[in-house]
Structure 1
Amino acid sequence: MALPASRTYIDVHILQTVPPANLNRDDQGNPKEAYFGGVRRSRVSSQAWKRATRTHFSERLPDQDLATRTRRIGGALAKRIASVADLNAEDANRLAGALLAPLKISAGKREGDTAYLFFYGRRQLDAVAALVKDRTAELLALDEKELTAEIEQLAVHKEFSTGHPIDVALFGRMVADIPALNVDAATQVAHALSTHAVELEFDYFTAVDDEQEKEEETGAGMIGTIGFNSATLYRYATVGLHQLVDNLTDEEAAVTAVEEFMISFARSMPSGYGNSFAHRTLPSLVAVTVRSDQPVNLVSAFEEPVTASSGIAAASARKLAREHAAAVKGWGVTPAFTALCHMFPTGDTAELLEHTFGEPLPFTELLSGLRTHLTDTLNQAAR
């Protein structure tokens, strides 16, 4: 299916305050950071939040409607074949290897592994296994050369190139060896940055040995430190509806995928040191804009860091609103749709947000309005 002529970008802007935490650690085990606007900021990588979003999908959507990313696709396919065709492991592994051979994916260091992670839909793998389900006895009777020739006639490549689940359609797939299997991502996710300067802190902890006898020894059974910080984060992502329609070849499915992404991106949280910090919070603000010109990340609102000694989230919301208003006025491009959900009480912050983004809505109503707008947009484009 060709890309629609018109471009439609759904920009998602989130402010979220996180207490002391280590959401996403660097190679030293400390929270990731970045310098922006001349000061050190807390940072959570886009990869970490995309992983959290995908994990949140799995908590809400059927497993078969989602994807898996692994080096062990050969083993996974062999298990599918063994299950549907009632084969032993040796025969299933032989057929799985033969089915994957035409893809010419580079082999990894361990036998049966690919050289890199392969992102595939679970239903896609079922479809590949189904290609040999009713022919296993015939195929296993062939020698290797004959088996290879027979497998090359099957639509393995086609099954991996169609019927993408929403996570592959949203986040894309890169297969270095086989460009034809690549899927262009419909979603871009920015690294989350604190709206203000942060300082790295350390939690010095001790653990007591419950079986330790007082008269034998004193002191802790273990000591250590964990780096942490706390921050109000600006999070941004954009979804290209036109690319999503192309990836899914279904307009209604594409609109549903946007809605599912919105829910999981807003409600997910990287799990680093979750048991130590219990850091899960809800966003204090979610704003969505639909544009036809280009995605617009509003992180420039925080190039000058927020310096409030209290009320950092509210000050950040006001700066975000002013930046959005300045961008609309300066560039003369008004979004086709804007919606807002926030948890700030009535006052200056709430009034400025409403003036800029419109009347605040419960998150479910924001999603409903977005779905209606996107559906209408696609219907108009089809006329």
Structure 2
Amino acid sequence: MNNRLFVDFHVLQTVPPSCVNRDDTGRPKTAVYGGTTRARVSSQSWKHAIREYFTTHIPEFDLGKRTKRIVGLVADAIHELRADLDEEKTLKMAENALKNAGLKIKSADKGTDALFFISNEQVKALAELAVSGETGKKKYAEALKIHPSIDMVMFGRMVASDPSLNYDATVQVAHSISTHTVHTEYDYFTAVDDCSSEDNAGAGHLGTTEFNSATLYRYATINVSELKKFAGERTAEAVSDFARAFVQSMPTGKINAYANFTVPDDVYITVRRDQPINLCGAFERPVRSKAEGYVKGSESAFNDYTQKVYTNFAEAPAAAFGTGDGTATLIDTEPLSQVFDDLQTYLEKVLRSVQ
């Protein structure tokens, strides 16, 4: 039996004037694709937004934290078990626990040299070992390997000093790009000094900021078979949780200045048995601006390219779910909330046959 199982997520989403994701100079990120400049939102930016979404929609025991200051996390867990211990004692116990687990700890306040992804359940397990007085390093090392969080197995953990602690990511997220050419614009702004005297006319601050607007193509994929090795019976629900987070999250770059809270124009989710397929080739030739804007042209280009891929290069998906006017030419659409529920129900049924 073919146990390969992937879920692909394709989203068309229009973002108004904004600076969702900026580079080191403060400019909106861009990329050259098809010979023209496109708006770009990095995968790291959207993955961060997804993890932020998780914190309010997934139980805490299923999540983790990525930080250098892991000594403090373990110390706090030790304090919950032994409130009678002072701060210095708990920090020392936490530091020793992590060193026993094989991590290089610079100091209690500085933690590790690099960001370390640790699940809340792993923090709890290390704290319990420390409080019990366990001295065997093997058990501490095992505590860092068992009970990975959902976000850890989705986005991966890389530990250069100890590859045995690594988790390969089961989710890949593409950089989102605009379906069309973009031109960055400049906003000249002033700020008024509320306490300025009447004779001191003029602005208290002058400046410029850069922005653009775009219809974005967003793509992500989950290796469901690999995710199942860690998530078990929780797998279908975890995929549905990711679907909601990917579709409904938004990076917060310059959000106070632009309030770019938009919802997708189209969502197309496919379940595949052969391989993941990124359909960004639909926009290698940039969509041209017309009186009706970019969305209709983007939908048409996406649908035409998708049908060509299914005809010439790959099988049609085993199942597909979605919503939006453009997606309606590919499948029977339904409200977005129903899309997530139907995806989960379908996967629960299919996963019973995947070992």
Specify which of 343, 348, 351 is matched with residue 375 of structure 1. Answer: 348
Specify the SS of the correspondent of 2:88. Answer: helix
What is the aligned partner in structure 1 of residue 19 from structure 2?
22
What is the aligned partner in structure 1 of residue 322 from structure 2?
340
Specify which of 29, 45, 49 is matched with residue 48 of structure 1. Answer: 45
Matching of residue 92 in structure 1 with residue 74 in structure 2: no
Structure 2 Cα separation of the partners of residues 212 and 153 of structure 1: 64
Give 2:354's aligned amino acid.
A
Give how far 1:79 is off: 1.8
Give how far 1:365 is off: 1.7
What is the aligned partner in structure 2 of residue 239 from structure 1?
222
What is the aligned partner in structure 2 of residue 120 from structure 1?
118
Judge conservation of contact 1:103–1:178 (CA < 8 Å) in 2: no
**Counterparts of 1:225-236 in structure 2 under 5 Å?**
225-236=208-219
Specify which of 127, 143, 152 is matched with residue 168 of structure 1. Answer: 152
Give 2:310's aligned amino acid.
V
Judge conservation of contact 2:92–2:108 (CA < 8 Å) in 1: no
Matching of residue 9 in structure 1 with residue 6 in structure 2: yes
Judge conservation of contact 1:53–1:265 (CA < 8 Å) in 2: yes
Matching of residue 276 in structure 1 with residue 236 in structure 2: no
The count of corresponding residues between Structure 1 and Structure 2 is 353
Judge conservation of contact 2:183–2:212 (CA < 8 Å) in 1: yes
Judge conservation of contact 1:198–1:230 (CA < 8 Å) in 2: yes
Judge conservation of contact 1:85–1:134 (CA < 8 Å) in 2: no
Judge conservation of contact 1:185–1:243 (CA < 8 Å) in 2: no
**Counterparts of 1:1-383 in structure 2 under 5 Å?**
6-86=3-83, 87-108=85-106, 112-135=110-133, 151-153=135-137, 155-215=139-199, 217-248=200-231, 250=232, 252-309=233-290, 310-342=292-324, 344=325, 350=326, 353-356=327-330, 358-382=331-355
- TM-align CA RMSD: 1.7
Structure 1 Cα separation of the partners of residues 170 and 328 of structure 2: 29
Q: Which runs of 4+ in 1 moved over 6 A?
A: none
Structure 2 Cα separation of the partners of residues 37 and 299 of structure 1: 11
What is the TM-score when the length of structure 2 is the normalising length?
0.95
Judge conservation of contact 1:67–1:165 (CA < 8 Å) in 2: yes
Judge conservation of contact 1:184–1:243 (CA < 8 Å) in 2: no
Structure 1 alignment gaps of length 5 or more? 136-149, 345-349
Give how far 1:35 is off: 0.3
Specify the SS of the correspondent of 1:326. Answer: helix
Structure 2 Cα separation of the partners of residues 50 and 35 of structure 1: 22
Specify the SS of the correspondent of 1:54. Answer: helix
Give how far 1:332 is off: 4.6
- 315-324 vs 269-278, which deviates more? 315-324
Give how far 1:105 is off: 2.6
Superimposed CA distance per residue, residues 112-147 of structure 1 (whole angstroms, 9 cap, x where no aligned partner): 420111111112201211113344xxxxxxxxxxxx
Give 2:306's aligned amino acid.
H
Specify the SS of the correspondent of 1:286. Answer: strand
Specify the SS of the correspondent of 2:32. Answer: strand
Superimposed CA distance per residue, residues 191-225 of structure 1 (whole angstroms, 9 cap, x where no aligned partner): 0000000001111110000111112x111000111
Give 2:223's aligned amino acid.
G
* Identical-pair percentage: 39
Structure 2 Cα separation of the partners of residues 355 and 213 of structure 1: 63
Structure 2 Cα separation of the partners of residues 332 and 91 of structure 1: 60
Specify the SS of the correspondent of 2:216. Answer: strand
Residues 59 and 329 from structure 1, CA distance in 2 versus in 1: closer, same or farther, beyond 3 angstroms?
same
Q: Which has the larger radius of gyration?
A: 1
Structure 1 Cα separation of the partners of residues 226 and 62 of structure 2: 19
- 8-17 vs 365-374, which deviates more? 365-374
Give how far 1:19 is off: 0.3
Give 1:236's aligned amino acid.
Y
Judge conservation of contact 1:20–1:279 (CA < 8 Å) in 2: yes
Specify the SS of the correspondent of 1:226. Answer: strand
Judge conservation of contact 1:183–1:247 (CA < 8 Å) in 2: no
Superimposed CA distance per residue, residues 304-347 of structure 1 (whole angstroms, 9 cap, x where no aligned partner): 000023331121111111111100000251210111211x3xxx
Structure 2 alignment gaps of length 5 or more? none
Superimposed CA distance per residue, residues 4-48 of structure 1 (whole angstroms, 9 cap, x where no aligned partner): 961101000000000000011101101000000000000000000
- 102-111 vs 194-203, which deviates more? 102-111
Residues 107 and 154 from structure 1, CA distance in 2 versus in 1: closer, same or farther, beyond 3 angstroms?
closer
